[in-house]
Amino acid sequence: MDADFLIIGGGIAGVSAAARMSELGSVIVLEAEEALAHHASGRSAAMFEPRYGAPAVVGLSLASEDYFRSVPGVLSPRGLLLVAKADASAAFEHDLVAMEFDRISVDEARGIVPILNRETVAMAGYAAHAEDVDTDLLMQGFAREAKARGALIVAKARVTAIAKDGAGWRVISAAGEFTGRMIVNAAGAWADQVAALAGVTPLGFAPYRRSMARIPAPGGHDVSKWPMIFGPGEDWYAKPDAGALIVSPAEEDLMEPHDAWADDMVLAEGLARYEEMVTEPVTRLLASWAGLRTFSPDRVLVIGPDAQKPTFFWLAGQGGYGFQTCPAASRLAADLIGGRTPGLEPALVAQLSPSRFG
């Protein structure tokens, strides 16, 4: 089967790219697993926090906001609450400025989240600008858009070999052979492995595990309107999730690409950091899971044609920002592939380009 664009990876990066690239030509998405969003894209905290990350990431997130606002139901209010002990003032002050929190009193914070522990919480900040993202709605919307323009999404199609084929590429997958003019590498934690298959020099992506626990609503409170709660220096966070609370140790443990699972010890330590700041103990876990947040060497996404093999296009290194950046990232990918002047500032486009790695 032949297409203009063979997109490898059916997470949010690949599916949003499929929607945008189907405006330019024929698209086939090859996904190794049975379902889309099986890996990082099915395991996120689902937040739109545009002030999170390096400046180039913030640029992409802010450029994505109009799209999010244009699709009813994708964003909904959440807010962020930063809480810290007295001995964490340096990290607290840093986060307060970096993520534009307003300083509030501990009593005000307890008015928002009544289980905060007066004995341990010494400082608090609040920001209204972070919102929940309905990640399923977003994924389905992009997939529907791509399919409506004729894109084919093939599951159980793990790519095992890639070879040059004239001006284009020949790809061998578990679902058969495909040819295409251009490969879009949206393989998440496996981006460097996919590059190596194609004889393209890997860029040094690093997949870091982040674990999550879902716990029952503490003390039987209605948590639905609580903000996301952060420890300083992002050493844990908690967030309402379908009537329960998800708590993450917010670890960054370097891994080989794999189907990640939560580390019990790391989870227990993270839950202890959360428990120290609240009055309700964690009595049981409803579920736990983990995902890989895959970063490039400078922790900024990589979007653009490979410097040596320009028909191999990188769309990788989404780190902890793959959802909140996907509208602008996929638009930029399509602008570059379609030969259009990108809507983003040239300096930002250069910061995202694979050529920055020399």
Cα distance between residue 229 and residue 232, in whole Å = 10
Q: Does 75 bind ligand FAD (CB under 6 A)?
A: no
Cα distance between residue 232 and residue 88, in whole Å = 7
Which DSSP letter does residue 233 get?
G
Residue of 273, 299, 29, 50 lying closest to 175 (CA atoms): 29
DSSP secondary structure string, 73-141? TSEEE--EEEEE-GGGHHHHHHHHHHTTPEEE-HHHHHHHSTTB-TTT--EEEEES--EEE-HHHHHHH
Interface pick for ligand FAD out of 158, 170, 214, 299 (rule CB under 6 A) = 158
Measured from the CB atom, the residue of 131 and 335 that comes closer to ligand FAD is 131
Cα distance between residue 116 and residue 118, in whole Å = 6
Residues 34-63 that bind ligand FAD (CB under 6 A): 37-41, 43-47
Measured from the CB atom, the residue of 12 and 109 that comes closer to ligand FAD is 12
Q: Does 324 bind ligand FAD (CB under 6 A)?
A: yes
Q: Which stretch binds ligand FAD (CB under 6 A): 213-221, 271-279, 322-330, 350-358?
A: 322-330
Q: Does 21 bind ligand FAD (CB under 6 A)?
A: no
Q: Does 12 bind ligand FAD (CB under 6 A)?
A: yes
Q: Which stretch binds ligand FAD (CB under 6 A): 85-93, 187-195, 219-227, 277-285?
A: 187-195
Residue of 27, 120, 106, 18 lying closest to 331 (CA atoms): 18
Cα distance between residue 74 and residue 69, in whole Å = 8
DSSP secondary structure string, 235-300? S-EEEEETTEEEEE----EE--SS-----HHHHHHHHHHHHTTBSSPP---SEEEEEEEEE-TTSS
Shortest distance (Å) from residue 326 CB to ligand FAD: 8
Shortest distance (Å) from residue 32 CB to ligand FAD: 4
Measured from the CB atom, the residue of 40 and 247 that comes closer to ligand FAD is 40
Interface pick for ligand FAD out of 143, 321, 330, 349 (rule CB under 6 A) = 321
Shortest distance (Å) from residue 205 CB to ligand FAD: 10
Measured from the CB atom, the residue of 8 and 84 that comes closer to ligand FAD is 8
φ/ψ of 194, rounded to 5, equals -65, -40
Q: Is 207 in a helix, a strand, or coil?
A: strand
Q: Does 190 bind ligand FAD (CB under 6 A)?
A: yes
Q: Does 188 bind ligand FAD (CB under 6 A)?
A: yes
Interface pick for ligand FAD out of 291, 305, 342, 354 (rule CB under 6 A) = 291
Q: What length is written for the chain?
A: 358
Which DSSP letter does residue 184 get?
E
Q: Which residues pair with 295 in a beta bridge?
A: 206
Q: Does 231 bind ligand FAD (CB under 6 A)?
A: no
Which DSSP letter does residue 307 get?
S
Shortest distance (Å) from residue 117 CB to ligand FAD: 25
Measured from the CB atom, the residue of 157 and 271 that comes closer to ligand FAD is 157
Shortest distance (Å) from residue 118 CB to ligand FAD: 29
Q: Which stretch binds ligand FAD (CB under 6 A): 11-19, 83-91, 176-184, 303-311?
A: 11-19
Residues in contact with ligand FAD, counted by CB under 6 A, come to a total of 41
Helices (H) and strands (E) in the chain, counts: 9, 20
Measured from the CB atom, the residue of 121 and 130 that comes closer to ligand FAD is 130
Q: Which residues bind ligand FAD (CB under 6 A)?
A: 8-14, 30-33, 37-41, 43-47, 157-159, 186-190, 194, 210, 212, 291, 293, 318-324
